[in-house]
């Protein structure tokens, strides 16, 4: 599974940045495959991934399109953006992670926030968030066909 492992040359920072979402997506793909063949999830991590996968896959065709992936991110951005200023402060970002079932130790949380907050103004703008979503999609869509699915797991 190329997509689910890291090349040696990847830096620790990149590794840490992508780690949690990749883990979720990888376990989601694995769980989804399992769901289709065996029809039950093995553990809570897989279950969590599968829930997210099913939420993303709006048309339930077993494949996450670019639009489905981006919409999913925006949905959670908007849910977390309590005061509707199109930005996420630390509290709102923490809320988003919590909704996604991802809770981190505070030093990891701050690091992740700072990576997303590229211009260092202490909020994650919609533009900063969208750029990250695009990068994550490109990274997940290994074969570049505009869909994240089994074909991207080898």
Q: Which is nearer to Ca ion, 42 or 61 (CB)?
A: 61
Q: Does 154 bind Ca ion (CB under 5 A)?
A: no
CB atoms within 10 A of CB 108: 13
Of the candidate residues 52, 93, 117, 137, the single one contacting Ca ion (CB under 5 A):
117
**Which range, of 11-19, 44-52, 78-86, 144-152, touches Ca ion by CB under 5 A?**
144-152
Of the candidate residues 18, 57, 81, 92, the single one contacting Ca ion (CB under 5 A):
57
Note the Cα 8 to chain centre separation in Å.
Answer: 22
CB of 17 vs Ca ion, minimal distance in Å: 16
Scanning the structure block, which residue is given the tokens 């925006």? 74
Q: Which is nearer to Ca ion, 5 or 44 (CB)?
A: 5
State which H helix or E strand residue 87 sits in.
Answer: strand 87-88
State which H helix or E strand residue 125 sits in.
Answer: strand 124-125
Closest CA to 113 of 101, 95, 139: 95
Chain residues binding Ca ion by CB under 5 A are: 57, 59, 61, 63, 117, 119, 121, 125, 141, 143, 145, 147, 152
């Amino acid at each position: 599974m190329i997509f689910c492992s890291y090349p040696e040359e990847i830096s620790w920072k990149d590794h840490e940045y992508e780690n949690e979402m990749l883990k979720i997506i990888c376990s989601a793909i694995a769980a989804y495959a399992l769901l289709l063949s065996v029809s039950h999830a093995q553990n809570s991590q897989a279950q969590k991934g599968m829930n997210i996968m099913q939420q993303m896959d709006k048309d339930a065709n077993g494949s996450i399109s670019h639009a489905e992936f981006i919409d999913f991110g925006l949905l959670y951005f908007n849910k977390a953006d309590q005061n509707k200023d199109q930005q996420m402060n630390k509290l709102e970002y923490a809320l988003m992670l919590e909704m996604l079932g991802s809770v981190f130790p505070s030093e990891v949380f701050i690091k992740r926030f700072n990576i997303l907050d590229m211009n260092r103004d202490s909020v994650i703008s919609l533009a900063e968030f969208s750029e990250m979503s695009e990068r994550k999609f490109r990274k997940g869509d290994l074969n570049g066909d505009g869909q994240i699915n089994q074909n991207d797991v080898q």
